[in-house]
Structure 1
Amino acid sequence: MKGTLFRYVVRTYLQFAVGILAAVLSIFLVVDFVDRARQYTGEGWLWNVVLLYANKALVATQQLGPVALLLAAGTSVSSLRKRGEVTAMRSLTFGPNALYLPVALCVGLACVGLIAFDEWVVVKASQRVEEITTQRFNRWGDWGVYHTPKQWFRKGDQIFYLRRGNAQEGFENVAILTVTPEFRLARRVDADTMRSVEGTRWMLGGVVERSFTKNGQSQVRQMAEAEYDLGVTPHTFRLRPGRPEQMRIPVLREQIRVRSEVGRDTRQFSLVLHNRFAHPMASLPAAMLAVGLALRPGRKGHMTVAIVEGLLISVMMWGLMVVTRTLALSERMAPAVAAWFPVALLSVAAALLWLRGEGRLGGGGA
């Protein structure tokens, strides 16, 4: 009997989850197309739009998946309650956990699936969306912010200005500034070329070295070629252009480490890394909160109420994520705390509602 009931609740929940996801995804894509339709022009625009929205559908599935899981939790339980099946379960001595557990299992597995889906599918789909938008429809937006090659680096007391090139093939037209603890310029080395020799040693060509003393005097040396130990390896300069949301987890970790070494901001990258897990996982406590609301005493089991409650929880989730993201990027909150705070808050709310439903905080069961 327990197994039959468990499978029945799982089947009911999955039906609602798939249906709601399809509905919200369709609405999102249609609205997005209508809003941007005038931008889609040029030769072969129809096929390009098809490719664009095929990839947008993948990205939107990951973004809207937690909302669909949340809405499905409340509506599926409300549907069971409206048909009198929750009352029937009580008469057979099944408590609220007969609904909580199957829904939690489904949502938990879906969360893991969304994390893997984001890592292996959405990252590439997001890159493809940006590529089609910029190259085929000439809509660049903030493309340059993320894709312009990085030229300034800092490591310890040295500041590097690398105008052209890369860590593998070498750099051209470089300037290396050495500063004192008081941030006074102690030495400047300009070079036409800069190539790695071994470890932290680099060969510079067309060198002009200027040394500055405290009393304002300077000395200049010119050399056709000179080898310097700059205290950095080629790996230090491996900053990848692109949006952090379009990078896989190993790349994000590497970029956080490399950017920390050269004194560049890592907050956005750390936030994206934690959100790769936190954003899908937020749907689990949110869904449990929706189930608790659907089972609360005296509530009418109407679908409209469940949808409204689910939307309110979604708005609360979105609001918390926006606020914590802003606090993290403005250095008022650690990225890890910002990513997981909404999950923790929803978990506390869901736990309190479950305890109240069990009669442990006052109030009766559903």
Structure 2
Amino acid sequence: MRILDKYILKEFIGPFLFGVCAFTAVFVGTGTLYRIANLINQYGASAWAAFRVFVLAMPSIIVVTFPMSVLLGSLMAFGRLSSSSEMIVMRAGGQNFIRLAMPIFIAAFFISIGATAFNEYVVPKANNAYNTIINEEIKHNVAPTTQDHIIIKNTKGSDISSLMYARQYDANTKQLKDITVQEFENDTLMRVEQADRADWNGQKWVMHEGMIYDVSANEQTTRSLKFQNQALPITQKPNKINASQKKPDELTIRELREQIKLLDQNSVNTNKMKVEMYNRFALPLASLVCAIVGAPLGMQKQRGSSSIGFGISVVVIFIYYSIMTLGNALGNGGKIPAYLAAFLPDIICGVAGVILVYKKSK
């Protein structure tokens, strides 16, 4: 890495870290602290529970601040270099704008990679623990008597062994209705079982009046068999069924993909889950997009470019998240494909950024 690259990267890192802290503080101050205060006032949450809720809320907030912070960092880095005429000297020395911006683009690329991993391995677990503490420990919620679209996964080691879908669960009668079970070996679908209902007999779940289908490697039925009674391959007791269900933001990408496939096979609308899955990639990619937009916008000649850069970043962030909100709404409603709904702000802002970079590189 050249000395000049290190110098430009140093100008970027400071504002980026400041942005992560500042934007996180804004989200915490305007949302998280209010919710925690409400939990204390309304439900009498203990200080220990409130502290854990606060900590577990951080991952989902921090991952959202990365694109904003990259935008702020690139704006302020190039804004400072431009306001002190250093950028003019660099370009007079034969340095192309794209080459000067490359350290920030590369840094933003690795931030996007890191955010994707963080969004996959940290955020879902934190969200699950966050909701568990609020619902079970603080609110002491009573589980609903009926719940639709139950999905239960069993694993052997890291491999999935079975995946069960029930259209409805009735806690009063301890009954699962309209059941589909997929059984796997080495992550390959081998058998499908379907039944109208399953009842809890005090020790295990038993399906009634169903069919078993053996499936080939290309997922074609090779044999079918009727049954009157068949044990359901799940271990959850009735009082654990509702608690075992996760919200989309508590699932990993792989779990989302598995549930979407199973729900699609049972004619259940999965638009929201598909948008959520693609957002896991689109939001981290926004860090790279914001770097491409922010670098040329930061080429300010005026003094006081730090305040100008901060103001521009607020405007760009507003535009980006407005497009994201609109895209997600259209995707959830099935008006546009889920992948387009998730990546729409990246596409629009990315194209705008490429145009700005092209103009500045002339």
Q: TM-score range by the shorter chain?
A: 0.7 to 0.9
RMSD: 3.4
Answer yes or no: is 1:194 the counterpart of 2:226.
no
Higher mean alpha-carbon deviation, 256-265 vs 27-36, is at: 27-36
What CA distance in whole angstroms lies between the structure 2 residues aligned with 1:107 and 1:273?
22
The one-letter code matched in structure 2 to 1:40 is: I
Corresponding residue of 2:228: 204
The one-letter code matched in structure 1 to 2:27 is: F
The one-letter code matched in structure 2 to 1:194 is: M
What is the DSSP-based 3-state SS (H/G/I as helix, E as strand, rest coil) of the residue aligned with 1:150? strand
**Closer, same or farther in 2 for the Cα pair 1:344/1:38, shift >3 Å?**
closer
Corresponding residue of 2:132: 131
Higher mean alpha-carbon deviation, 192-201 vs 50-59, is at: 192-201
Corresponding residue of 1:337: 340
Which of 255, 260, 272 in structure 1 is aligned with 2:259?
A: 255
Question: Between the two proteins, what is the percent identity of the paired residues?
Answer: 19
Contact 1:71 1:310 in 2 (8 A): yes
Corresponding residue of 2:118: 117
Corresponding residue of 2:20: 21
Which of 317, 323, 326 in structure 1 is aligned with 2:326?
A: 323
Deviations 1:234-278 (A, max 9, x none): 89xx99832212111111111111011000011111111111011
Cα distance, 1:191 vs structure 2: 7.9
Cα distance, 1:39 vs structure 2: 2.7
The one-letter code matched in structure 1 to 2:351 is: V
Cα distance, 1:68 vs structure 2: 1.1
**Closer, same or farther in 2 for the Cα pair 1:45/1:347, shift >3 Å?**
same
Corresponding residue of 2:361: 358
Cα distance, 1:131 vs structure 2: 1.5
Number of equivalenced pairs: 303
What CA distance in whole angstroms lies between the structure 2 residues aligned with 1:98 and 1:175?
60
Corresponding residue of 1:179: none
Answer yes or no: is 1:306 the counterpart of 2:309.
yes
5 Å matches for 1:76-95? Answer: 76-95=77-96
Deviations 1:154-178 (A, max 9, x none): xxxxxx865459xxxxx847579xx
Contact 1:148 1:241 in 2 (8 A): no
Which of 258, 264, 271 in structure 1 is aligned with 2:268?
A: 264
Contact 1:6 1:98 in 2 (8 A): no
Corresponding residue of 1:75: 76
What CA distance in whole angstroms lies between the structure 1 residues aligned with 2:23 and 2:295?
20
Cα distance, 1:94 vs structure 2: 1.9
Contact 2:98 2:357 in 1 (8 A): no
**Closer, same or farther in 2 for the Cα pair 1:136/1:344, shift >3 Å?**
same
What CA distance in whole angstroms lies between the structure 2 residues aligned with 1:122 and 1:139?
24
**Closer, same or farther in 2 for the Cα pair 1:5/1:117, shift >3 Å?**
same
**Closer, same or farther in 2 for the Cα pair 1:82/1:138, shift >3 Å?**
same
Contact 1:270 1:335 in 2 (8 A): yes
Which of 292, 295, 316 in structure 2 is aligned with 1:291?
A: 295
**Closer, same or farther in 2 for the Cα pair 1:99/1:262, shift >3 Å?**
same
Where do 5+ consecutive residues of structure 2 fail to align?
152-165, 180-194, 200-205, 214-223, 235-240
Corresponding residue of 1:100: 101
Contact 2:20 2:69 in 1 (8 A): yes
What CA distance in whole angstroms lies between the structure 1 residues aligned with 2:360 and 2:207?
68
The one-letter code matched in structure 1 to 2:255 is: V
Cα distance, 1:282 vs structure 2: 1.7
What is the DSSP-based 3-state SS (H/G/I as helix, E as strand, rest coil) of the residue aligned with 2:149? coil
Contact 1:163 1:174 in 2 (8 A): yes
**Closer, same or farther in 2 for the Cα pair 1:252/1:316, shift >3 Å?**
same
What CA distance in whole angstroms lies between the structure 1 residues aligned with 2:83 and 2:176?
73
Cα distance, 1:283 vs structure 2: 2.3
What is the DSSP-based 3-state SS (H/G/I as helix, E as strand, rest coil) of the residue aligned with 1:346? helix
Deviations 1:82-138 (A, max 9, x none): 333223312332231243101101111000000000101011111112122222332
What CA distance in whole angstroms lies between the structure 2 residues aligned with 1:125 and 1:84?
46
Deviations 1:261-319 (A, max 9, x none): 000011111111111011110221222111111126x5556111111111111011100
What is the DSSP-based 3-state SS (H/G/I as helix, E as strand, rest coil) of the residue aligned with 1:264? coil
What CA distance in whole angstroms lies between the structure 2 residues aligned with 1:251 and 1:107?
28
Corresponding residue of 1:218: none
What is the DSSP-based 3-state SS (H/G/I as helix, E as strand, rest coil) of the residue aligned with 1:94? coil
Deviations 1:334-366 (A, max 9, x none): 00111112111111101111111123xxxxxxx
Corresponding residue of 1:278: 282
TM-score for both structures, normalised by structure 2:
0.74
What is the DSSP-based 3-state SS (H/G/I as helix, E as strand, rest coil) of the residue aligned with 2:26? helix
Answer yes or no: is 1:6 the counterpart of 2:5.
yes
What CA distance in whole angstroms lies between the structure 2 residues aligned with 1:161 and 1:280?
34
Where do 5+ consecutive residues of structure 1 fail to align?
153-159, 166-170, 177-187, 206-226, 228-232, 360-366
What CA distance in whole angstroms lies between the structure 2 residues aligned with 1:253 and 1:175?
21
